[in-house]
Chain A
């Protein structure tokens, strides 16, 4: 008896095989634009690499990629027989659409965005990684849904919010989507909570209340740090890592045991619960 199978997306098989070599995938999400997801994702990737772990950063903000800028990367991904090799900066393998679009606008539809994400995941040769950090775009549209579908079994999320009612109202929806999609939330980070040069003046943050509402961990607060902005403007990651912003982020990540947890994990373990 003959049976025909049609319209098969072989890239899903390629992606599955590549993911087998990645221990943990962290989606940096928010839903809200302008909360500093890309800065958190890039800084976290560089801090993790500095801790001695192998790290990749995948920038999935199709319409406004910024990782290549933050890392000061101008070179194109190279190609070998295993796929596209992401450029390495400050110990981080970085793959971003901006490496291809070279500063041009990327006005693609939702269907196009889905294709781009699958293509990047299928073609990028990360090798063995301890962490793949995924910078996600604002919103809960095609890109985030594609990432949830394709990476869901191995991914968990760190959710970034601002200490404003507007941000909280948007981020709340994203948390609901992630939880209903069975993406574990490792924790909530509140960005731009206080001025680095002034220090904290409040006791409980709105991000902490949001985390409590969903019964997830609150990782802590990050400062508004003009020195971090200057380092990004200068595309100077080593200087960024010396700022109060990066030092605070490192302290919060260490306190959360994110690094320790993964050092003891084996390949193909499930997501953090």
Chain B
């Protein structure tokens, strides 16, 4: 259901942009950060369903997954999501799905053992591009 809330937010936001800037939306691209742990096809289906009957109905919808890159600020090592989430239980993974920064609460750097991560890429869902024909 978290997915639905975000997808509604995305569509509403793009509609606000088109109302403000004028013209019509040719395409828009949504990037799903790996930490959000969303299914790409589900997000695309929700977007296609919810644009029906709106000014975005004929826009090209693109959805991409962005692999996570996490830097340990203590030892400068870089990690992917799987390496950091592997030791965690399902409840902890669920918390990180909502708030990826909680990685610092639950995970440890495999290199130095500390928890001072910064998420460089793949944090959550974002609108990477909206292309307007004005």
Residue ranges of A at the interface with B (Cβ–Cβ < 8 Å):
1-14, 17, 79-84, 97, 100-102, 104-109, 111-113, 115-116, 119-120, 122-123
Contact = CB atoms under 8 A, between A and B. Distances in A.
Interface residues of B, number: 39
A92 B59 CA distance: 43
B101 A115 contact: yes
Given A97-B99, A100-B98, A5 B17 contact: yes
Interface string B97-120: 011111011100000000110110
Contacts of A81: 1, 4-5
B13 to A, nearest CB: 4
Given A108-B101, A112-B118, A6 B128 contact: yes
A3 B73 contact: no
Given A105-B115, A112-B101, A112-B118, A4 B129 contact: yes
Given A4-B130, A10-B127, A112 B104 contact: yes
A4 B17 CA distance: 11
A8 B1 contact: no
B67 interface: no
B17 to A, nearest CB: 6
Nearest to A62: B101
Contacts of B119: 112
Interface string B5-19: 100011011101100
Contact of B131 (A2, A9, A120): A2
Given A5-B130, A6-B128, A9-B126, A104 B98 contact: no
B23 to A, nearest CB: 8
B42 interface: no
B118 A116 contact: no
A105 B105 contact: yes
Nearest to B100: A115
Contact of A13 (B2, B12, B101, B128): B12
27 contacts: A3-B23, A3-B132, A4-B129, A5-B129, A6-B128, A8-B13, A8-B126, A10-B9, A10-B14, A10-B126, A11-B9, A12-B13, A14-B13, A79-B2, A100-B95, A100-B99, A101-B102, A102-B95, A104-B105, A105-B105, A105-B115, A106-B105, A107-B115, A115-B123, A116-B101, A119-B99, A123-B5
B26 interface: yes
A106 B95 CA distance: 13
B54 interface: no
A5 B129 CA distance: 5
B133 interface: yes
Contacts of A5: 17, 21, 129-132
A226 B119 CA distance: 43
Contacts of B115: 105, 107
Contact of A82 (B5, B102, B126, B127): B5
A13 B13 contact: yes
Given A8-B17, A101-B105, A2 B133 contact: yes
Interface in B74-109: 95, 98-102, 104-106
A17 B13 CA distance: 10
A6 B98 contact: no
Nearest to B105: A104
Nearest to A107: B104
A106 to B, nearest CB: 5
Interface in B9-39: 9-10, 12-14, 16-17, 21, 23, 26
B21 A119 contact: no
Contacts of A105: 104-105, 115
Contacts of A13: 9, 12-13, 16
A79 B5 CA distance: 10
B126 A3 contact: no
